[in-house]
Amino acid sequence: MKLSVVMSVYNGAAFLAATLDSILVQTERGFELIAIDDGSTDATSAILAAYAARDARLRVIAQPNAGLTRALIRGCAEARAGVIARHDCGDLSHPERFARQLALLDRGHVLVSCATRFMDRDGDTLYVARARGDEVRKSLLEAGVSRIHAIPHHGSAMFRRDAYLAAGGYRAEFRAAQDLDLWIRMAKHGTIGVLDEVLYEATVDARSISGTSRDAQVELTAVTVALREGGDESTLLEAAARVQTQALSARGEAAALYFIARCLLQQGNPKWRRTMQSALRRNPFHVRAWISLFIGR
């Protein structure tokens, strides 16, 4: 077994089958898929059980709802291979993703990723995120809070298990920005590689652009940078644990829909206007949305 794939699922029934299909048809067959059912109340459990009955590579671990970070800690602790790959429910991997990223990891990197296409629920392109591994590592180790950036998507990550353990793994105190916190610590242990090919597709909607935790993301990013700079670990981790994610407000959802609409507009997708109107229904006082509709750009 070359690879352990770790995925947390919470009420992901609507998109789970497509995600599982994209993983299980990988050209690299030597992997296990660890799916943490994080207290789902929809058909997630039944879908996972059906797939596990057909493919022994899928291991399902059910637990009471504990949130993404704790689910990932559990999944990585269960990993039996020397390499761990991440995947998010609702996202898709190109059939060559695992094989290509394993080959890149074999060049001596501790963490690798790939270009990621971000798409809406209909599969329409919003934008493509790319990065250079050396620039990502430099940013993680040196950049300030407002300029720090990481790999294209958390779900596109693949890393060495020994490097993960040496860095201390995901930290339960981080309910958000758990990936940035981990990447900073892993960057101290070696280089990062990012493939330029789009091998991962991430699905976003108004409630998945860090929408429910935008403020928490900002606060916790500041904590990660303070930790990197040598701040008192005990005090800062206590501060991180106090940061709470919140339910997405109508104003927050409108802002997310505005962002999606602008992406669609830049792609020349006529659906942008309908999405912009949805943003205004949630927040009639969104001035920039009104301006976009009025001038048509």
Question: Would you state the pLDDT for residue 206?
Answer: 74
* Count of CB atoms situated within 10 Å of the CB of 133: 19
Q: How confident is the model at residue 212 (pLDDT cuts 50, 70, 90)?
A: low
Instruction: Provide mean pLDDT across the span 35-53.
Output: 98
Domains of the chain: residue spans and CATH: 3-204 (3.90.550.10), 250-295 (no CATH)
Q: How confident is the model at residue 89 (pLDDT cuts 50, 70, 90)?
A: very high
Distance between CA atoms of residues 202 and 215, nearest Å: 22
Question: Would you state the pLDDT for residue 208?
Answer: 63
Mean pLDDT of the chain: 95
Question: Would you state the pLDDT for residue 213?
Answer: 67
Quote the pTM value: 0.94
Question: Would you state the pLDDT for residue 188?
Answer: 96
Q: Tell me the backbone φ, ψ of residue 93, rounded to 5 degrees.
A: -110, 140
Digit-coded pLDDT (tens) for 267-277: 999 999 999 99
Instruction: Provide mean pLDDT across the span 140-154.
Output: 97
Q: How confident is the model at residue 143 (pLDDT cuts 50, 70, 90)?
A: very high
Helix (H, G, I), strand (E, B) or coil at 38: strand
Distance between CA atoms of residues 221 and 182, nearest Å: 11
How large a percentage of the chain has pLDDT more than 70? Answer: 98
Say yes or no to pLDDT of 40 above 70: yes
* Residue 119: both structure tokens together: 């798409």
